[in-house]
Amino acid sequence: MAHILAVGGGKGGSGKSFVCANLGVLLAKQGKSVLLIDLDLGTPNLHTMVGVDNPKIGLNNFINKSTNDLSRTAVPTKIPNLYLISSTRCSLEVSNLYYVQKQKIIRAVLQMPSDYVILDLGAGTTYNTLDFFLSAHQGITVFTPEPTSIQNTVQFIKAVYLRKLKHILKQDGFTRIMKKIGYETEDGAVRSPLDIVENIMQMEPERAQMLQRELRKRDFRLVLNQYRKQVDEALGKKIEKVCNRHFYSHFTFLGNITYNERIFESIVAKSVFAEKYPYTPTCTDLKNITSTLTESAPYPSSEQEQHVQI
Ligand SMILES: Nc1ncnc2c1ncn2[C@@H]1O[C@H](COP(=O)(O)OP(=O)(O)O)[C@@H](O)[C@H]1O
Ligand SMILES: [Mg+2]
């Protein structure tokens, strides 16, 4: 079973696709087989980040059932060991996948024979995006130092968290309690996850503890991209601390990725940044993040496998 990484975040343009592509390149250069999947279904562009011009096959072939083998929809990239499943040929309707189609994709992703599968997700908090994010062993949220990006990141994390929480609450026993508590407060506001857990705690402490244990099994990784000198170096750590205080899951800040003008040049030239500019501070940052990711959980443990959510 492949180790699945998903890269998401509330805001477009924060560098999700850039991070996916370059983590993929660096892992492939370590000799790992890596499959990148572009799941930004309405607006795909991961192929350009890895220098693939016009993928002839892709996710569309799996969705329209011309093949049932997802691995056959991958194309090689210029980098040995690095493959891509693109969604450039998917129809426009595909950005609103049916539930069964999403399930089928997630099941197939879990069976991929690569060492690593990296899912590049679109911006925003559609159910498709949240469920793809939750299907991964490690979910990475990429944001920039701009307040708008941080706001959207917090919204994204809340949405993922609430989706996970609701998934657990659908199970036996919780539906009855949730009918009493309600997902909304008396004044019509959506209850925060913390509020829901605290309410359950008052009514049925044992069940609340079980819920907390389930939520603790989720790990979130945070990456601050487009880092510049003027930015507080500890910003990412501060956000990690706030998230760890407000959610029952575990948040780990993986590091800053330095802003670099050459990224623009490399994208325009359709070359791969980490290959073209390996001796830049930005590439060093990417290498450090790659090491932390591989060291923290090189392969899914059997316990993690059980909790991959579909
Ligand atoms: N570290 C960085 N330094 C400078 N520019 C960056 C950096 N990361 C991303 N970019 C720029 O931001 C643009 C958007 O990145 P992209 O990965 O497409 O964002 P997303 O996938 O989140 O929408 C890229 O085209 C690139 O020009
Ligand atoms: Mg993108």
CATH number assigned to the domain comprising residue 129: 3.40.50.300
Residue 179 counted as domain residue: no
Ligand nearest to the CA of 40: 2
With a 6 A CB cut-off, is 141 part of the ligand 1 pocket? no
The pLDDT profile of the chain, 310 residues, written as one tens digit per residue, is 899 999 999 889 999 999 999 999 999 999 999 999 999 998 999 999 999 998 999 999 999 899 999 999 999 999 999 999 999 988 877 778 888 999 999 999 999 999 999 999 999 899 999 999 999 999 999 999 999 999 999 999 989 988 988 888 887 778 888 888 988 888 998 888 888 889 999 999 998 998 888 888 888 999 999 999 999 999 999 999 999 988 888 999 999 999 999 999 999 999 999 999 999 999 999 999 999 999 876 444 444 444 444 4
Closest listed ligand to the CA of 8: 1
Cα 15 to averaged position of ligand 2 atoms, centre (Å): 7
Instruction: State in Å: Cα 211 to ligand 1 middle.
Output: 37
Residue 121 resides in a domain: yes
- Quick check: is 235 in a domain? yes
Q: b/e per residue, 267-293, with b = 16+ CB within 10 A? A: beeeebbbbebeebebbebbbebbeeb
Does residue 208 sit within a domain? no
Indicate whether residue 74 lines ligand 1 (CB < 6 A): no
Helices (H), the chain: 16-29, 46-49, 59-63, 99-110, 127-135, 147-169, 174-181, 193-203, 205-216, 235-246, 262-268, 273-276, 281-296, 302-307
CA angle 14, 35, 150 (to 5 degrees): 15
Distance 169 CA to ligand 2 centre (A): 32
Which amino acid, one-letter code, is at 126? T
Task: Please tell me the number of the ligand nearest to residue 282's CA.
Answer: 1
When divided into structural domains, the chain yields a total of 1
CA-nearest of 102, 105, 58, 104 to 84 is 58
Tell me how long the chain is: 310
Are 161 and 193 contacting, i.e. CB atoms less than 8 angstroms apart?
A: yes
Contacts of 212 (CB under 8 A, 6+ apart): 197, 248
Is pTM beyond 0.85? Reply is yes
**Dist CA 275 CA 273 (whole Å):** 5
Query: Is the separation of the CB atoms in 286 and 277 below 8 Å?
Result: no
Report yes or no on 209 lying in a domain.
Answer: no
Token pair belonging to 223: 């990456």
What is residue 269's predicted lDDT score, i.e. its pLDDT? Answer: 92
The rounded distance, in Å, linking the Cα atoms of 108 and 247 is 30
Chain centroid to Cα 147, Å, comes to 21
Q: Report whether residue 13 contacts ligand 1, using a CB cutoff of 6 Å.
A: yes
Nearest CA to ligand 1 atom 15: 15
**For residue 214, what pLDDT is reported?**
86
Instruction: Say yes or no: CB of residue 16 within 6 Å of ligand 1.
Output: yes
Which ligand 1 atom is nearest residue 20's CA? 17
Q: Which residue range forms the structural domain that includes residue 66?
A: 3-148+219-307
Tokens of 5: 């990484």
Please name which ligand lies nearest the alpha carbon of 16: 1
What's the pLDDT at 297?
60
Distance 181 CA to ligand 2 centre (A): 38
The rounded Å distance from CA 21 to ligand 2 centre is 10
**Cβ of 50 below 6 Å from ligand 1:** no
Cβ–Cβ under 8 Å, residues 228 and 261: no
Identify whether 153 is part of a domain.
no
The closest-lying atom of ligand 1 relative to the alpha carbon of residue 142 is 22
- In DSSP terms, 82 is beta-bridged to 34
52 C-alpha to center of ligand 2: Å? 15
pLDDT of residue 304: 44
Residue 167 inside a domain? The answer is no
| 91 Cα–ligand 1 center, Å | 25
- What pLDDT is attached to residue 19? 98
Q: Tell me the three state secondary structure of residue 68.
A: coil
- With respect to residue 224, please indicate whether it lies within any of the assigned structural domains: yes
Number of helices (H) and strands (E) in the chain: give both, helices first.
Answer: 14, 8
Binding site membership of 225 for ligand 1 (Cβ less than 6 Å): yes
- Indicate the pairing of strand 138-143 with strand 250-258: unpaired
In ligand 1, which atom is closest to the CA atom of 257? Answer: 1
CA 293 vs CA 39, 127, 181, 219: distances in Å: 21, 26, 39, 12
What is the Å distance from ligand 2's center to 31 Cα? 25
